[in-house]
Structure 1
Amino acid sequence: MIKLDIISGFLGSGKTTLIKKILDFYKHEKVVVIENEFGEIGIDASIIKKDGLDIIELQNGCICCSMKLNFKDTILKVVKEFNPDRIIIEPTGIAMLSEILSMINNDEIKSNFSINSLVTVVDAINYFDYRDNFGEFFEDQILNSKTLLLSKNQFLEDENRDNIVKSLKSLNQNVDIINKNWDDLLVEDLLVDNMKNNADEKYKKIKNYDLLSTNMKSISSVSISNFKINETQKIKEIFDDFSNGKYGKILRAKGFLNSVLDNTLEFNYVNGQYNIKESDIKTNSKICIIGSKLQKDKLKNIFK
């Protein structure tokens, strides 16, 4: 049986960081990563691809929409062409985990795979904001997960972390919650222990939601490549503007910048917080911006 790891989580929660940790743990196995990025330009694939891994990118829409008709064919093709020991699926941050599980509940897929881990990464800093603004859609990932992994919790006080755990338990009292520094995280903590032979029961418990809640229908993306900005200070100023609503409600921005020092910088923006660091990935300047009610023309103009 081929092991299947599903790593879900809302936009910017830290899924790709976790996957890199998992890949390092399973470096002696043949692993294929199936990615689904929301936007026309793939960013995460570049980050993972530098390790020489096989990647299938599935762009332009969430996995539960764009793969609804070809998910089975895609995953079986992966098996045929790569014969992996393990497949890791990273849905876009606005995927419905219940829909993904429904697609996996296919006789042909179940006969070839066993679920090794089913993890939702929860952004501790933005948890209450996302829960209040994206309601049932956000909760779908929590309700249908086996393990919840809090990210960025080192930036919170103990009382705030405890409040998040209580809120998560009120949504899913049976879920395992890992609330520790990621430096101390063991991949073994993420393993599923009781789903392999009871998958059907799990699917029966999935709460039925419309594919997109009202708030999620407004989410869109804009992707820009080969832009001329090459100064770190300028990109910081743009990110500061992102947080004031000038260009819409920007939830996530990520990409690469070729700087004036002739090196590549990798940047990540999540709901008002951002970081910029040097990268050894050789690529062109590109950015993918995700949010609601985006002022797309204005965004494109600032990156001219």
Structure 2
Amino acid sequence: MIPLYLITGFLGAGKTTFLKELITLFRNKRLALIINEFGKESIDGVFFKDKGAALSEISNGSIFCSCKLDQFEQVLKNIAQKKPDVIIIEASGLSNPQNVHRILGQPDFSTLDYKGSICLVDALNFHKVLYTALACKQQLSVADMIIINKTDLVTQESLNQTKALLGEIRPGIPAYTTSYGRIEKEWILYLKSGKDNNDKPLRQVADITLQKFLLDVTSVCSMELLREFISLIAKDTYRIKGFVNKGGQNWFVDCVGENIKITPYHGTADKLNRLVVLSGSGLPTRKSIISAIEKLNLSEDVLLK
């Protein structure tokens, strides 16, 4: 049997950082990764191309939705036939994984040993997304383990409130705390095979509560101007991320709400100066982008149609 782990967590919870830490626990194993991103542009997969793992990327939708389910199942079948030692799936931050047991319970996947779902929670933004994003509750509903990440950004009182709330939502499920996605081997050993697979069938429909935008910031001439542009639109987004080249240097842009991080990136990226923006339908994201373009006298081509 091939152990399979599912990593979930709403946008910005730190799944990719956590996954980097997790794969170090399987350093001497033949590892297969499936990276799923909701946006059209694949970004996170770049970080794993030199990690020695077999990498498969599925973008522009959730692997658990009807729009991508067939592709996901085919990719998983192909991986299973190659018999890796371990399979890890990083689901989109906007995914609804409530049908995971039914998918993996099919005869085609009889060689897979589903160890469970590890749900990452953003300690700083959890209270906000819990009540505004349905996907957050859906991911928690099938979690076999919860990891509260980014605890260095909150007070002990706030952390205690988050732990208490999670205890009410998923009583009996272990919840560990960490920062920077760090993980202890003992946490993974907790996960056992043979999870309950009696999840109820769910009608799989497109989530119309989400907005996706793609920005081309090639014409934004400096890092200072780019940061100002992002700061003007950040409040009306869930997530902004992508790779840019400014001043002869590659940078990784990673914005969760109004928490903006732009750090040097020394690897290679297929597409530079493209930013993926994800937000909720109730947020005036397009209006904010257009307003920022006008305020900073940027080209209208920044917002790709």
TM-score where L is the length of structure 1: 0.86
Q: How does 1:9-24 map to 2 (within 5 A)?
A: 9-24=9-24
Q: How does 1:140-179 map to 2 (within 5 A)?
A: 140-179=138-177
Q: Say whether the 8 Å CA contact 1:253–1:289 is kept in structure 2.
A: yes
Q: Say whether the 8 Å CA contact 1:33–1:53 is kept in structure 2.
A: yes
Per-residue deviation at 1:190?
A: 2.8
* 1:203 aligns with one of 197, 201, 204: 197
Q: Say whether the 8 Å CA contact 2:80–2:111 is kept in structure 1.
A: no
1:246-292 alpha-carbon deviations (Å, 9 max, x no partner):
xxx310011111011x1211110001111111111123222111112
SS in 2 for 1:67: helix
Larger displacement relative to structure 2 (94-103 or 143-152): 94-103
Per-residue deviation at 1:180?
A: 3.2
Task: Give the letter aligned to residue 112 of structure 2.
Answer: F
Counterpart-to-counterpart distance in 1, 2:167 and 2:260 = 29
Counterpart-to-counterpart distance in 1, 2:190 and 2:68 = 24
Per-residue deviation at 1:184?
A: 5.8
SS in 1 for 2:99: helix
Per-residue deviation at 1:56?
A: 1.1
Counterpart-to-counterpart distance in 2, 1:264 and 1:148 = 34
Report the counterpart of residue 272 of structure 1 in structure 2.
258
1:94-153 alpha-carbon deviations (Å, 9 max, x no partner):
1112123321122331x2111234200011111110111124x32111121010001111
SS in 1 for 2:229: helix
Per-residue deviation at 1:71?
A: 3.3
Per-residue deviation at 1:49?
A: 1.6
Q: How does 1:24-173 map to 2 (within 5 A)?
A: 24-65=24-65, 66-80=67-81, 82-109=82-109, 111-135=110-134, 137-173=135-171
TM-score where L is the length of structure 2: 0.86
Per-residue deviation at 1:192?
A: 4.4
Per-residue deviation at 1:225?
A: 4.7
1:204-231 alpha-carbon deviations (Å, 9 max, x no partner):
2x46766469xx5221212245723352
Closer/same/farther in 2, CA of residues 59 and 121 from structure 1, 3 Å limit = same
* 2:228 aligns with one of 203, 222, 237: 237
Closer/same/farther in 2, CA of residues 68 and 192 from structure 1, 3 Å limit = farther
Counterpart-to-counterpart distance in 2, 1:291 and 1:52 = 33
Query: Which consecutive unaligned segments of at least 5 residues does structure 2 have?
Result: 294-298
Counterpart-to-counterpart distance in 2, 1:97 and 1:6 = 9
Query: Which consecutive unaligned segments of at least 5 residues does structure 1 have?
Result: none
SS in 1 for 2:168: helix
Counterpart-to-counterpart distance in 2, 1:131 and 1:256 = 28
Q: Say whether the 8 Å CA contact 1:118–1:190 is kept in structure 2.
A: no
Closer/same/farther in 2, CA of residues 273 and 207 from structure 1, 3 Å limit = farther
SS in 1 for 2:48: helix
Aligned structure 1 segments of 4 or more residues deviating by more than 6 angstroms: none
Closer/same/farther in 2, CA of residues 156 and 107 from structure 1, 3 Å limit = same
* 1:263 aligns with one of 249, 259, 271: 249
Q: Say whether the 8 Å CA contact 1:50–1:281 is kept in structure 2.
A: no
Q: Percent identity?
A: 19
